[in-house]
Structure 1
Amino acid sequence: MLNAAAKPLVKLVERYLPDPYVFVLLLSVVVFCAAMLFEQQSPLQVLQYWGDGFWGLLSFSMQMLLVLVTGFMLANTPLVRGILDRLAKLANSASQAIVLVSLISLIASWLNWGFGLVVGALFAKALAKKVKVDYRLLVASAYSGFVVWHGGLAGSVPLTIATPNHFSAGQIGVIPTSDTIFAGFNLLLVAILFVAVPLVNYLMQPKTDESVYVDPAKLRDDAHTKSPGNRPADKLENSIVLGLLVGFAGLAYLVQYFVKGGSLNLNIVNYLFLFLAIVLHGTPSRLLHSLQQAIKGGAGIVIQFPFYAGIMAIMVQSGLAQSMSQWFVSFASAETLAFWTFISAGIVNIFVPSGGGQWAVQAPVMIPAALELGADINRIAMAVAWGDAWTNLIQPFWALPVLAIAGLKAKDIMGYCLLQLAVTGVIISLVLSFG
């Protein structure tokens, strides 16, 4: 049944979904017009918001580029390639490959979203080298595990409200993660998705004559050839001692960081990936060769993220995001506020694809509504978090690192993700409302 349902969605997306760059240009035009139409902003004022905010994600853009580059370099080491290949041998059929990559991606994304994006894509490539499986669905399955990230250990909304002196502390106080990430309803939701997401991916498998396979030879990375030069510079570039000295120094800092109680965040994940790659590649020349391969897929991140920063600025500064949230709240009750919060967060996320940024936009609307209606503020906060994670399934913004590693385009996987969006949306709505 799900294969039949997925088929028209896949064809629809393949035919009409443009390249992610064109998608972000269209979103820019839509938001520009909406701010003038619904918020009565002048064209010059909207243009000012857009231009002022255009470079607002530079730091995050670099972080995302490093997620791709450092993750690729680490996976391209002989040790990690061997581990991924051994794990891939656990799958002896297309069905097993789909389920296995879904589970690995779910686990990795629950631990940390950046880790999940890279591990899922790299494991999908390893599986495709071993098993004959529809490559589009395999990569879509790897990406679908990302849906649980905001209910996991790195969820920005629950971590923000668990931080002393956060911007809403005066209204709701400090809410520990035991009431959000580790609350019964959230753990129940995560557990259900750990079953449902792999099952849906499994049931979406196309027939053999409709599958799209990839030549395993095209997935292999170019082997590094050691430079035979005798210059002092050549000796430094091929020095194992230099690479290990710096690499172990970086790992020693990480040990000290975690001993002192440091937490896992995107910078630390990138730092870990980088210094593990330095150690496991051994020589600077091997690392640089891997870097040259990795950087090829980063063009989409570099060019598109500034446009999303401009969109976010218009949404926030014009009041469009707040108005959208207030509209949903206007007809909610204490019992239905979590559901409408989830839906509104999912829609806002299309235009403001940042968990922390979305909470900053929606908290001033959702918190007073929850307090006035007597709704569970912990559940409302997690509804924002899950809404943000939910529509990431069809937001090319987050898929860019996965697509770059896998060598696919957004239209190749989004048809499958669209069906996952429908199924997971029902599950999340029910658990937030009644769980």
Structure 2
Amino acid sequence: MLRVLSRPAVRLVERYLPDPYIFVLLLTLVAAIAAMVVEGQTPQAVMRYWGDGFWDLLKFSMQMLLVLVTGFMLASSPPVRRLLDGLAGRVSSAGGAIVLVTVVSIMASWINWGFGLVVGALFAKALARQIRVDYRLLVASAYSGFVVWHGGLAGSIPLTIATPEHFMADSIGVIGTSDTIFALFNVVILAVLFVVIPLVNRLMLPPEDESVMVDAEQLAEPEPTPANFDRPAAYLEHSAILAWLVGFAGLFFLADHFLLQDGGLNLNVVNFLFLFLAIVLHRTPRALLDSLNEGIKGGAGIVIQFPFYAGIMAIMVDSGLAESLSQMFVSIASADTLAFWSFISAGVVNVFVPSGGGQWAVQAPVMIPAAQELGADIPRIAMAVAWGDAWTNLLQPFWALPVLAIAGLKAKDIMGFCLVQLLITGVIIAVGLTVL
């Protein structure tokens, strides 16, 4: 049944989903028009919101570009390539490849969302070099595990409200992760998704005559540049000692960060880890630079699109449109249904504001007073917003860009399968938030 359901979804998306750049341009126009029609903003005011906020994600854009590049460099190092190929070589069937890449992606995304995006995509490539399997579904499966990130260890909303002096502390105090990430309802949701997402992906596997295969040679990593010591500087470029002195220094810093300073795992730490592991494992600066030149090719979408999303976020927040959208759902909620409507509203807002932290800043001032007035469970409402933010990432190509760049696909190739997952996971999460 799921295979039959996925066929029209895939065809629909392949035919009508534009390139992510076109998608972000259309979202810009929709947000601008909505701000003028719904909020009564003038065109000049909307233009100023958009222009003033256009560069607000520069730091995050660089972080995401580094997620792509450092992850690619790490995976293309000889030891990691052998490890991924060895693990992929243990899989003997297309169905097994789909299930395994989904499980790995879910586990990695639960630890850290950036880690999950890169590991899932790289493992999908390794599997495709070993197994004949529909490459579109394989990459979609790697991306589908990302839906659990906001219920995991790096969820920005539960970690924010667990931090002393967070911006809503005066209203709700500090809420520990035992009431959010490790609450029974959240653990049950994660456990069910851990079983259902791989199963759904496996059941969507098309027959071989309908599958889109990829030639393993197309996914082969480039061979390193042969050493050529025709000039003195070449000895430095091919010096393992130089690379290891700096590389191991970075790894010792991380050991100090985790073991002696009790530091956490965030996006900067993940990028730092990927980079310095890549420096050590490539052995020479020249090998690392060759890998960098190959990996950077896929970063164009991140560079050009993220500023547009920053402009959209500014329109949504500064015009009051995001708050009005949240308030619309709150107005029809009761204490028992507020979690559900918070989840749905967060999913809608996420299409325009694809940032967990940014979305909480917009929705918390609406959702928290509503929860207090209705007597709803505040930690559950916070997690409802978190899950809504993560859920519609299966539809919003913003977060898929690093995965697509690594895999060499377009959004339309995977989003049809993700649309099926969107429908099924949405029901599971909504039931878990409102019934458990």
Q: TM-score, normalised by structure 1?
A: 1.00
Amino acid in the other structure paired with 1:92 = S
Does 2:166 correspond to 1:131? no
Q: Conserved in 1, the CA contact under 8 Å of 2:225 and 2:290? A: no
Taking the aligned partners of 1:273 and 1:184, their CA distance within structure 2 comes to 33
Does 2:387 correspond to 1:391? no
Taking the aligned partners of 1:86 and 1:157, their CA distance within structure 2 comes to 37
SS across alignment from 1:398:
coil
Counterpart for residue 300 of structure 1: 301
Counterpart for residue 69 of structure 1: 69
Counterpart for residue 51 of structure 1: 51
Counterpart for residue 28 of structure 2: 28
Counterpart for residue 409 of structure 1: 410
Q: Conserved in 2, the CA contact under 8 Å of 1:226 and 1:238? A: no
Taking the aligned partners of 1:302 and 1:208, their CA distance within structure 2 comes to 36
SS across alignment from 2:246:
helix
Does 2:279 correspond to 1:288? no
Does 2:154 correspond to 1:154? yes
Q: Conserved in 2, the CA contact under 8 Å of 1:226 and 1:285? A: no
Which sits farther off after the overlay, 225-234 or 348-357? 225-234
SS across alignment from 1:224:
coil
Taking the aligned partners of 1:156 and 1:90, their CA distance within structure 2 comes to 35
1:50-129 alignment runs, 5 A limit: 50-129=50-129
Does 2:347 correspond to 1:342? no
> Unaligned regions of 5+ residues in structure 1, if any?
none
Give the share of equivalent positions with the same residue, in percent.
71
Q: Conserved in 2, the CA contact under 8 Å of 1:67 and 1:114? A: yes
1:215, distance to aligned residue in structure 2 (A) = 0.2
Taking the aligned partners of 2:209 and 2:220, their CA distance within structure 1 comes to 25
> Unaligned regions of 5+ residues in structure 2, if any?
none
Amino acid in the other structure paired with 2:116 = G
Counterpart for residue 222 of structure 2: 222
Taking the aligned partners of 2:313 and 2:72, their CA distance within structure 1 comes to 29
SS across alignment from 1:396:
coil
CA RMSD of aligned residues (A): 0.5
Q: Conserved in 2, the CA contact under 8 Å of 1:390 and 1:421? A: yes
1:326-337 alignment runs, 5 A limit: 326-337=327-338
Cα deviation, 1:325-379, whole Å, max 9, x if unaligned, reads 0000001000000000000000000000000000000000000000000000000
Q: Conserved in 1, the CA contact under 8 Å of 2:237 and 2:285? A: yes
Does 2:425 correspond to 1:424? yes
1:4, distance to aligned residue in structure 2 (A) = 0.3
Taking the aligned partners of 1:191 and 1:90, their CA distance within structure 2 comes to 25
Counterpart for residue 382 of structure 1: 383
Taking the aligned partners of 2:369 and 2:117, their CA distance within structure 1 comes to 34
Taking the aligned partners of 2:433 and 2:12, their CA distance within structure 1 comes to 31
Counterpart for residue 243 of structure 1: 243
Moved over 6 A (4+): none
Q: Conserved in 1, the CA contact under 8 Å of 2:346 and 2:385? A: yes
Amino acid in the other structure paired with 2:94 = A
Amino acid in the other structure paired with 1:301 = I
Taking the aligned partners of 1:120 and 1:367, their CA distance within structure 2 comes to 35
SS across alignment from 2:399:
helix
1:90, distance to aligned residue in structure 2 (A) = 2.3
Does 2:358 correspond to 1:362? no
Counterpart for residue 168 of structure 1: 168
1:232, distance to aligned residue in structure 2 (A) = 1.8
1:132, distance to aligned residue in structure 2 (A) = 0.6
Taking the aligned partners of 1:320 and 1:240, their CA distance within structure 2 comes to 55
Which sits farther off after the overlay, 15-24 or 85-94? 85-94
Taking the aligned partners of 2:89 and 2:411, their CA distance within structure 1 comes to 28
1:229, distance to aligned residue in structure 2 (A) = 2.3
Which sits farther off after the overlay, 177-186 or 220-229? 220-229
Cα deviation, 1:88-122, whole Å, max 9, x if unaligned, reads 12210010000000000000000000000000000
Amino acid in the other structure paired with 1:198 = P
1:394, distance to aligned residue in structure 2 (A) = 1.1
1:207, distance to aligned residue in structure 2 (A) = 1.5
Taking the aligned partners of 2:87 and 2:334, their CA distance within structure 1 comes to 48
Taking the aligned partners of 2:90 and 2:321, their CA distance within structure 1 comes to 49
Taking the aligned partners of 1:367 and 1:75, their CA distance within structure 2 comes to 43
Counterpart for residue 193 of structure 1: 193
Q: Conserved in 1, the CA contact under 8 Å of 2:225 and 2:286? A: no
Taking the aligned partners of 1:179 and 1:326, their CA distance within structure 2 comes to 25
Taking the aligned partners of 2:29 and 2:69, their CA distance within structure 1 comes to 31
1:225, distance to aligned residue in structure 2 (A) = 2.1
Amino acid in the other structure paired with 1:227 = A
Counterpart for residue 203 of structure 1: 203
Cα deviation, 1:275-333, whole Å, max 9, x if unaligned, reads 00000001100000000000000000000000000000000000000000000000100
1:226, distance to aligned residue in structure 2 (A) = 2.4
Taking the aligned partners of 2:284 and 2:237, their CA distance within structure 1 comes to 7
Amino acid in the other structure paired with 1:255 = A
Taking the aligned partners of 1:72 and 1:205, their CA distance within structure 2 comes to 27
Counterpart for residue 232 of structure 1: 232
